[in-house]
Amino acid sequence: MPVKPEIHKRLAAIVGKDHVLTSAEDLIPYSFDGTAALTQMPGCVVFTTDAAQIPQILRLANETGIAVVTRGSGTGLSGGSLPTPDCIVLCTARMDRILELDRANLTLLCEPGVTTLAIADAATEAGLFYPPDPGSMKISTIGGNVAENSGGLRGLKYGVTRNYVMGMEVVLPDGQVMWLGNKCVKDVAGYSLKDLFIGSEGTLGLITKVLLRLIPRPATKKTMVATFGRMDQAAEAVSAIISAHIIPCTLEFLDRTTIHCVEDYAKIGLPLDCEALLLMETDGHPAVVAEEAAQMEKICRDQGCLEVRVAKDDAEGNRLAGARRSAFSALARMAPTTILEDATVPRSELARMIRFVEGVAVKYNLRIGTFGHMGDGNLHPTFLTDERNTDEMHRVEQAFHEIFDEAIRLGGTITGEHGVGLAKKGFLPKFAGDAQMRVMRELRKALDPKGILNPGKIFD
Amino acid sequence: MSPVNSPLKNLDYSVVQQCMHCGLCLPTCPTYDTTQLERNSPRGRISLMRAIADGKLEATRTFAEEMYYCLGCLACMTACPAGVNYAELFENARAEAEQSGVLDSPFRRALRGFTLNWLFMDLGRLQWLGAAIRFYQTLGLQRLLRWSGLLNLLPRRLRDLESMTPTVQPHFSADLIAPNTPALRGGRYRVAMLTGCAQDLIFSDVNRDTVEVLARNGCDVVTPPEQHCCGSLHAHNGELDLARRLARKQIDQFPPDAFDAIISNAAGCGSHLKHYATLLEHDPLYRDRAVQWDRKLKDIHEWLAEIGIDAPARTNAPEQTVAYHEACHLCHGQKITAQPRQLLSAIPNLKLKEMAESNWCCGSAGIYNLIQPEMADELLDRKLKHVRATQAETLATGNPGCMLQIQNGARRENLNLRVAHPVTLLAEAYRREATANTNATAPKPGETR
C-alpha cells in the first residue's frame, strides 16, 4: 500500500518539507543501491538532518506499520539499502558532521552520514589512521559501513569496520535511544550490544552516532606489484608470505580479465601480459617495511613470478590501490550486468577455491572476472552477464549455488564483507544452521516486534 | 511519446545499461555535492533516462528540468570505472526533453528559434549582432545606462545578464588573422584553425595568439575568414539534427585529409568536435569522413604537446605566477590534463601554482550560467576561493566560457586577477623573446657599427 499523503505531511512536520521526496522522478533514483539487477520503488524518501528527528520517525512508522529502510550513499552490494515496496527510505547522507576528534583518547565521534574518506582524512590531519577502506570509500557513509561491517583492502593486517567501532548511539523501532560502548579500551559491563548492531544491516535499530577508534599513523609504507603466469602461483605466493609470518597491510589480486578492465580505465601502466597480478603493501617502521618488502619480493620470485615492480613513491602506491578499488566497477566495461560475489575461505584453502571458481565458470559457460583480497581469503568472483538474458542469469544463479556450497564445505562463508541483504538471503539458512537462524529471528523479534526495520532483508 | 521520435528509446540500450549504479560518480558531481539528492547525480539521472527508455516514465517537465540542471561537465565520465558514455546519454536526454515539448512556451520557443535555429546557424548573423553590441559598448551607451541607474528598473535577472555581457573585441578574427599564415621557419605541418563563435567575438585575440604560436612551431595555418558554428551549443541543448547539419558544413569546409590537424582552442567546442563520428554514424555520405575528422581534430594544447613546443628564450621579464583552471570539456571531455601544464611550464618566468579542485566546474558550462544562475554562482564562488588561495596574479584556462565566467566573478569580488588562455601566455613569451632579440641586434643609441 503506497505511503499516504497524510503520512508525508507528518514526516514533513518532523524533518521539514524540503527533506521529504515523493514524486516519481525523485523516487526512481532511490529505487536501487550498488547491487546489480535489483530495483524496487520506495514510497517516499526522508532526509534527516538531526538525530532528534529519528525517534519521531520511527515512532510514526512503528505506529502505522510502515517499513523503514535506512540508506547512506546507496553503494551497498547485497541490496541492504534497497527499498522494500512502498517503504520510507530514511537517508542519513545529510547528517554528515564530525562531532569530535579526541586526540587524548584517539577517538572520533561523528554522525552516520560522514563519508569514510572524510573520516580517513580527518584522522590523517590529526596524524592518526582510520584503516578500513572499502572500495567505495570516497562516498560510502560510516553509518552504512557499520551497518554492513564493511571491510576493504587492509583487512588482513588491520581488520574491518567492527575493529574500529568503540561505541554508537542507536534508536530502537519504538523510538527509544540508547548509547552503547564508550571511550574505554576495556569494558565488560553486560552484553556487548554494540557488536550486535555492527553488521545488522539496518534491521535492529538506527545508528545515529558512531564513536570510532583511531590508531597511530604508520611511519612509512611500500607498495609493490608482482605478476604471475598462472593464478595458482599467485595463490601459492600469498600462502608462502603468510606462513613466513609476514602480515602485510594489503595482499590483493586481480585476474587477467580484471587487470585489462582496470588498466583500460585507470591507465596507470599495469602489466597486461600475465594471468594474475598481486598488489602488496607493507607499512610500519621503515626498517620493518624494508625487510618485509625484500622478503615478499624474494618469495614472489621463488614462486616464479614474471616481474616485481616497486612503486617509487606514495603517490604511485596510492594510484595502484585506487585502481584496485575500481576493479568491480571497471569490470562493467565487459558486459551489461556484472554480478559479484563475496565468497570467503580460510587462507589455506585459497588456491583450491580459486580453481573451483574457474571450473564452475567453464561448467556453466559463463564469463568471469575474479579479484579480491587474497591475503584474507575474501574473493570477488564477478560474473559478466546481461540481466535481460534469462537463460544466462539462471546459469549464474546455479553457479553461485555451487560456489557457496564449496565455500561452506571448505570452512568459509557466503559473504566476507558485503552483507546478506537480499542478494544472499537464500543462502543464509544453509550456512548458519537452524539454531543460529532461530536465535537471530528471536533477537530481531525482541528488538523490532512489528518488523518495520528493513523487512525481508537477511532473513524473513 | 512514440518510440519513433524518442531519442532515449531509440538509443542503443547497452549505453543506458552500462551504468551499474555503483555510486563512484557521486562525489565528483557538482550538483550532487551541493544538494545530496540522487536525482541531481549522474547515476540518478541515468536511472531516469533508463525509466524512459523502459517506458516506465514519461518525459515529464521535472525530468526535462533535471536534464537542464545537469552542468554537462562530464566529471562523472572521468570518475566512472565502467566507462559509461554520459555525454551521449546527456545529449539524447536533452533531445528527449525538447521533442516531448514539456518545457515549451512561446517565449522559450522564440528564444531557441532565434539563437539555435537562426543566429548560430550562420555566423555572419552572429558577427552582425556582435558588431551591434560593440556599438552599444564603445559609444559609451553602456556606461551611460549603467551610470544612470536606469538598469535598476529592469528585473534582477535581466540586470544580472546585462552585467555579464562580455566586451566585444574591436576586431573579429578575420581582421586579425590572414587566411593563410605560413610557418615562421620551415613548415612541417599544414593545419586548419577553427575560430569558433564566442571566441571569435570576444576573444579574437586568443585566436590570433593561437595562430602565431602555431606558425612559430612549424605549422602553416589555414584560417578561412568565414566559418561555421561547430554545433556543440545545439547538441548540448537537444537539437541534434541542427548539430548534424553544422557538422556536415564543417567537414565540407575542412576536408580532413587536406590537413595534418584541425585545431580548436575552445575546450567546449573541441569536446564536441571530436565526436562527429557518433553524431553522423547513420549518415552514409559523411560517416567515413567524420571518423577521419575526429582523428584530425586536436585541441591546441594537445597538438603542441604532440609536435613539441619550441620553448621561448628566457628574457629579463619579471616572474609571473599562474594558476591553471581545467575546463571541464578539456580535462573530462577530452582527457587533456598534462598538456596545458606542459605548455605553461615551457614559458620561462612563469611559475605554475596548482590549485585545489582545479578540475571542478566553474559554473560556466556553456550557457548554464544564464539558465541556472544560482548553481552557477555557487560553483563560481567555490572556484574563486581556490583561485584566491593560490595568490596567483593570472588564471590560465583553455575555454572562452570559463574565461568569461571567472573574469565576471573576479570583477564582482574586486579580485585583481588576469584571466588568460594558456596559448596567449605562450604567445606573449614569444613576443618578449622577439623584442629581446631585436634589441640585442639593433645598434644601441650612439653606437656605430
C-alpha cell at position B382 = 567555490
Q: Which residues contact B97 (CB under 8 A, 6 or more apart)?
A: B59, B63, B64, B67, B68, B103, B238
Give me the pLDDT at residue B449, please: 44
Distance from the Cα of B297 to chain A's closest Cα (Å) equals 22
For the entire predicted model, the pTM comes to: 0.92
Structure letter (DSSP) for residue A427: G
Q: In whole angstroms, what is the distance from residue A367 CA to residue A335 CA?
A: 9
Looking at residue B446, its pLDDT comes to: 55
Choose the mutation target among B13, B21, B63 for the interface with A, i.e. most A CBs under 10 Å.
B21
Intra-chain end-to-end CA distance of chain B, in Å = 84
Q: What backbone torsions phi and psi does residue A282 show, to the nearest 5 degrees? A: -120, 140
Q: How far apart are CA B16 and CA B38, in angstroms?
A: 17
- Cβ–Cβ gap A265/B83 under 8 Å: yes
User: What is the topology classification, in CATH, of domain B173-307?
Assistant: Glutathione S-transferase Yfyf (Class Pi); Chain A, domain 2 (1.20.1050)
Architecture of the domain defined by B320-434? 3-Layer(aba) Sandwich (3.40)
Specify the 3-state DSSP secondary structure of B67.
Answer: helix
Least Cα distance to B201 among B252, B285, B132 occurs for B132
Report residue A330 as a C-alpha cell: 571497471
Tens place of pLDDT for every residue, chain B, 449 residues? Answer: 555 689 999 998 888 889 999 999 999 999 999 999 999 999 999 999 999 999 999 999 999 999 999 999 999 999 999 999 999 999 999 999 999 999 999 888 888 888 888 888 888 888 888 888 887 787 776 777 677 766 666 666 666 667 777 788 888 888 899 999 999 988 899 999 999 887 888 899 999 999 999 999 999 999 999 999 999 999 988 899 999 999 999 999 999 999 999 999 999 999 999 999 999 999 999 999 999 999 999 999 999 999 999 999 999 889 999 999 999 999 999 999 999 999 999 999 999 999 999 999 999 988 888 889 999 999 999 999 999 999 999 999 999 999 999 999 999 999 999 999 999 999 999 999 988 888 877 665 555 44
Chains A and B form CB pairs within 8 A to the count of 96
Closest by Cβ to B36, choosing from A93, A329, A386: A93
Asked if B22 lies within 8 A of A136 by C-beta distance, the reply is yes
Q: Are strands A107-110 and A165-171 parallel, antiparallel or unpaired?
A: unpaired
The amino acid at residue A344 is T
| Beta partners for residue A284, in sequence order | A220
Task: Give the sheet arrangement for strand B189-193, strand by strand.
Answer: B180-181, B219-222, B189-193, B261-264, B297-299
Distances, alpha carbon A268 to alpha carbons A263, A319, A327, A374, B434, in Å: 6, 8, 13, 22, 40
Q: Does A149 touch chain B (CB under 8 A)?
A: no
Residue B76: closest CA among B62, B86, B61, B88: B86
C-alpha span between A328 and A316 (Å, rounded): 21
Residue A29: its chain B contacts at CB < 8 A?
37-39, 41, 43-45, 47-48
Optimal mutation site among B22, B65, B80, B337, interface A, most CBs of chain A within 10 A:
B22
Give dist(CA B335, CA B103) in Å, integer: 33
Beta-carbon-side half-sphere exposure of residue A20 (alpha carbons within 13 Å): 22
The domain segmentation of chain B, as residue ranges, is 3-100, 106-164, 173-307, 320-434
- Cell 557538422 belongs to which residue? B247
Instruction: Report the candidate in B211, B135, B199, B163 with the shortest Cα–Cα distance to residue B369.
Output: B163
Amino acid at B425: L
Backbone angles phi, psi at B210, to 5 degrees: -60, -45
Mutate to test the interface with B, among A20, A78, A139, A261 (most CBs of B within 10 A): A139
Nearest-CA residue of chain A relative to B42?
A29
CA A257/CA A334 separation, integer angstroms? 9
- What cell was used for A227? 605478476
ipTM score for this prediction: 0.95
| CA of A133 vs chain B CAs: smallest distance (Å) | 14
B62·A23 Cβ contact <8 A: yes
Do residues B349 and B52 make contact, with C-beta atoms less than 8 angstroms apart? no
How many CA atoms within 13 Å lie on the side-chain side of A436?
A: 8
CA distances from B331 to B82, B114, B389 (A): 18, 32, 22
* Residue written as grid cell 575555454: B399
| B3-100: CATH superfamily | Alpha-helical ferredoxin (1.10.1060.10)
Q: What is residue A136's three-state secondary structure?
A: coil
CA distance A197 to A204: 7
SS3 A419: coil
Q: Which three cell numbers stand for residue A416?
A: 566476507
Does B83 contact A94 at a Cβ distance shorter than 8 Å? no
Give the nearest chain B residue to A117 (CA atoms): B27
Distance, CA of B315 to chain centre: 32
Q: Tell me if B81 and A73 make a contact (CB, 8 A cut-off).
A: no
Half-sphere exposure of A369 (CA within 13 A, CB side): 24
Sketch out chain A's domains with CATH numbers. 5-91 (3.30.43.10), 98-216 (3.30.465.10), 220-329 (3.30.70.3450), 335-446 (3.30.70.2740)
Q: What is the mean pLDDT of each run of 10 residues along chain A (460 residues)?
A: 86 96 97 93 97 97 97 96 96 97 98 98 97 95 98 93 98 97 95 97 98 97 95 90 93 93 90 94 96 96 94 90 89 89 90 91 93 91 91 93 94 95 94 97 97 97
Look at the block and give the residue holding cell 558531481.
Answer: B29
Residue type, A255: D
Measure the CA–CA gap between A225 and A363, rounded to whole angstroms: 31
Q: Give 3-state DSSP helix, strand, coil % of chain B, rounded to 5.
A: 55, 5, 35
C-alpha span between A458 and A65 (Å, rounded) = 19
A30 touches chain B (CB under 8 A): yes
Closest residue in A to B27 (Cα) is A139
| CA separation for the pair A369, A262 (Å, rounded) | 11
Identify any residues that bridge with A384 across adjacent strands, giving them in sequence order. Answer: A338, A367
Measure B58 CA to nearest chain A CA, in Å: 10
Grouping H, G, I as helix, E, B as strand and the rest as coil, residue B366 is coil
CB of B102 closer than 8 Å to CB of B61: yes
Contacts 24+ apart (CB under 8 A), A96-103: A96/A141, A98/A122, A99/A209, A101/A126, A101/A214, A102/A183
Chain B residues whose C-beta sits inside 8 Å of any chain A C-beta: 14, 17-18, 20-24, 26-27, 36-39, 41, 43-45, 47-48, 51, 56-57, 60, 62-63, 66, 80-83
Find cell 524518501 and name the residue.
A45
Distance from CA of B36 to the nearest CA of A (A): 7
Query: Cβ B18–A332 below 8 Å, yes or no?
Result: yes
Cα–Cα distance, A169 to A207 (Å, whole number): 6
d(CA B75, CA B382): 16
Q: How far is A93 from chain B (nearest CA, A)?
A: 7
A152 neighbors A132 (Cβ within 8 angstroms): yes
DSSP H helical segments within B229-275, as ranges?
A: 232-236, 240-253, 267-273
The span from the CA of A202 to the CA of A455, in Å, is: 9
Are A280 and A242 in contact by the 8 Å Cβ rule? The answer is no
